[in-house]
């Protein structure tokens, strides 16, 4: 349970940025919306609920991403509607490496296309389908 919403954890991915440990946790809700939150390793180890900060519910638009992480994937369903967002990345290479390993799981959870977005400028860099067809 996340607050009052049920969700299933679909991925937990630890990683480091300049020696600081983080964990990206991706969940899927019953309506098939995916949400990813970035937690510090200290925060991820706490056995309590909540979101990006103590006392906040948090969410895909309020992850408290570290400064300098400016690229993210927007997840789209079959009708082109946004259904979630990835964690943020420092550069396009890191974002593309992540999508290369994550696309099968995203597709399995209803994400049919993604858009790479420069979060600093708001520019959509490119759109990519995840499945055949």
Task: Please give the pLDDT value at position 125.
Answer: 95
Task: Please give the pLDDT value at position 124.
Answer: 95
What is the token pair recorded at 128?
A: 């990519």
Domain ranges of the chain: 8-129
- The whole-number mean pLDDT for each consecutive block of 10 residues of the chain, a chain of 133 residues, reads 66 70 77 74 44 33 53 91 88 90 88 92 93 66
Task: Please give the pLDDT value at position 99.
Answer: 92
Task: Please give the pLDDT value at position 123.
Answer: 93
Task: Please give the pLDDT value at position 113.
Answer: 94
Task: Please give the pLDDT value at position 31.
Answer: 79
Task: Please give the pLDDT value at position 1.
Answer: 38
Task: Please give the pLDDT value at position 19.
Answer: 66
**Conformational region of residue 106, where left means phi above 0, alpha means psi within -120 to 50, and beta covers everything else:** alpha
18 CB-side CA count, 13 A? 6
Q: pTM for the full model? A: 0.54
Q: Which of 35, 23, 24 is nearest to 74 (CA)?
A: 35
Task: Report how far residue 22's alpha carbon sits from residue 118's, in angstroms, rounded to the nearest whole number.
Answer: 21
């Amino acid at each position: 349970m996340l607050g009052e919403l049920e969700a299933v954890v679909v991925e937990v991915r630890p990683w480091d940025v300049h020696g600081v440990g983080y964990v990206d946790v991706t969940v899927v809700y019953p309506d098939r919306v995916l949400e990813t939150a970035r937690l510090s390793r200290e925060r991820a180890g706490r056995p309590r609920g909540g979101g990006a900060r103590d006392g906040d519910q948090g969410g895909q638009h309020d992850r408290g991403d570290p400064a300098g992480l400016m690229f993210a994937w927007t997840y789209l369903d079959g009708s082109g509607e946004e259904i979630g967002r990835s964690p943020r990345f420092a550069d396009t290479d890191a974002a593309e490496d992540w999508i290369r390993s994550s696309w099968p799981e995203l597709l399995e959870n209803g994400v049919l296309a993604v858009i790479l977005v420069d979060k600093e400028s708001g520019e959509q860099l490119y759109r990519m389908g995840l499945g055949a067809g």
